[in-house]
Amino acid sequence: MEESLRIILPVYLVVYLGIAFIWRSVVVYRTTGINPYVLGRNDNAYDYIGVVFRLTFLAVIGVIVLFSAFSDFYNYVAPINWLEINFIRWFGLVLLIGSLIWTAIAQIQMGTSWRIGIDKKNRTELIEKGLFTVSRNPIFLGMRLALIGFFLTIPNAITLLTMVLGDVLMQIQVRLEEEHLRKLHGKKYEEFCRNVRRWI
C-alpha cells in the first residue's frame, strides 16, 4: 500500500488545493469582484493565526513531498511505525476523500459568502442551508477530518503536530469568525447558534 500512497497523496493534495482554495477563490472573484483571500499580514493576534495556518499547511506539503519523492529522508520526520497498518491507512484515505467532498459541497453552498479569513470590508450573507443545518462550520470540520486523514495515512511526528496544531488554530479561528458573524447578523446569528451546533 505504501507505494500506492506515494502516488495517491500528492495527487490528492493537488486536487484538494485546486478545489478547496483555487477554484472557489476564482469563482467568488469572478462573480463578485471581491478577493476572498482576506488573511492579513499585520502584527496582531488574528493575522498571526493566519501565518501559523500557512506554516502548518506548508508542513503538510513538505512531509508529503518527503514521503512520496524522497523516501530516504522520510525517516527524519519520525514515522510512527506501529500505526502503519493497512486498515488504519485505508480509513485515513476514506477520511481524506470524504473531507474533500464535504468541503467542496459546503463551499458551493456558501456561494459568494465564502472567504479565507474574516472579511470586515464586505458584508456576507448568513448561510443556513445544506450542510450548514448540521454544522455552523462545515468547511473547518472538513479540514479537521483532512488533517486526521493525513495523520492516519502517513503517521509521523510532523503529521501528528499539524493535526494537533491545526485543530487548535481552527478552534480559535472559528470563535473569531463566530464573533464577527454575531456582530454582523445579530439576533439572526444568535438563533442560528441555538439551532445548529458549532461542529456537528
Q: What CATH number is attached to the domain comprising 129? A: 1.20.120.1630
Q: Output the pLDDT for position 46.
A: 79
Q: Output the pLDDT for position 72.
A: 82
Confidence (pTM)? 0.91
Q: Pick from 6, 25, 187, 46: which is nearest to 115 by CA?
A: 25
Residue ranges, the chain, pLDDT below 70: none
The total number of structural domains in the chain stands at 1
Q: Output the pLDDT for position 60.
A: 92
Q: Output the pLDDT for position 147.
A: 96
Q: Output the pLDDT for position 200.
A: 87
* Residue 38 is assigned to a structural domain of this protein: yes
* Residue 69 is assigned to a structural domain of this protein: yes
Q: Output the pLDDT for position 9.
A: 94
Condensed to tens digits (0 to 9), the pLDDT of residues 69-112 reads 888 888 888 889 898 999 999 999 999 999 999 999 999 999 99
Q: Output the pLDDT for position 40.
A: 75
Q: Output the pLDDT for position 20.
A: 86
Residue range(s) defining the domain that contains residue 144: 2-195
* Residue 200 is assigned to a structural domain of this protein: no
Number of H helices, E strands in the chain: 8, 0
Measured between its terminal Cα atoms, the distance across the chain in Å is: 32
Q: Output the pLDDT for position 110.
A: 93
Alpha helices in 154-195 (DSSP H): 157-185, 187-195
* Residue 67 is assigned to a structural domain of this protein: yes
> CA dist 165 to 85, 159, 185, Å?
24, 10, 30
Q: Output the pLDDT for position 74.
A: 85
* Residue 8 is assigned to a structural domain of this protein: yes
Q: Pick from 1, 102, 12, 22: which is nearest to 64 by CA?
A: 12
